[in-house]
Amino acid sequence: MRFAWPKARAASAQRVNRRERLLAAADFYFAINATFRFILQNYGEEALHRYWRALGAEYYAPLADRFRTGGLDEVARYWTAFFAAEPGGDVSVAREKDEVILTVRECPAIRWLRLHNREICPGYCQHCRHVSTAIAENAGMRFTLTGGGGTCEQTFSLRDGESPA
């Protein structure tokens, strides 16, 4: 399955941005958490990893295209706008010479789930590793993650031997 974003997206960017803002309802974190748990409990850990990888490779294929075309500057732009739009959290995005570093002091999703006493699906934080690794690989980049439990550091960097865009 591979779903392209059509040209209409660019044409309606202004309206889409409004909708994206309106739709950033934090309760959706409940559904993301429940989705992970459903796959984990019914089909196992490997199946959950496959779901995350497929999501990164297919749903986020247009994002990988953006990263491939725009390089690390686009990576920094995307994540800066992303965390500005997510409800809550405390994240900084730093564009370094050969990498972009996301410093997550308080993850918006983990914060919301804890705030509402939701049982967080085991391995929840690993979705960032799997989804972003798939995106980075499609963009010709590398992704690393250290930490977890609401506090982590994520890095997008160019593969060895590739020059920054």
Compute the least distance from the CB of residue 70 to another protein, in Å. Answer: 18
Residue keyed to tokens 């050969």 = 98
Nearer to another protein, 19 or 105 (CB): 19
Residue keyed to tokens 């992970």 = 36
**Residue 139 near another protein by CB under 8 A:** no
Strand, helix or coil for residue 4: coil
Among 44, 45, 73, 85, binds another protein (CB under 8 A): 85
**Residue 105 near another protein by CB under 8 A:** no
**Residue 46 near another protein by CB under 8 A:** no
Which residue stretch of 38-46, 67-75, 93-101, 155-163 sits at the interface with another protein (rule: CB under 8 A)?
38-46
Question: For another protein, how many residues bind (rule: CB under 8 A)?
Answer: 47
What are the C-alpha distances in Å from 1 to residues 4, 55, 60?
10, 10, 12
Nearer to another protein, 120 or 165 (CB): 120
What is the DSSP secondary-structure string of 83-148? HHHSSS-EEEEEE-SSEEEEEEEE-HHHHHHHHTTPPPPTTTTHHHHHHHHHHHHHTTEEEEEEEE
**Residue 42 near another protein by CB under 8 A:** yes
CA–CA distance, 39 with 56 (Å, rounded to integer): 16
The neighbouring-strand residues paired with 92 are 103
Among 45, 46, 54, 157, binds another protein (CB under 8 A): 54
List of residues contacting another protein (CB under 8 A): 1, 3, 5-6, 8-9, 12, 15-16, 19-35, 37-38, 42-43, 51, 54-55, 58-59, 82, 85-87, 107-109, 116, 127-128, 131-132
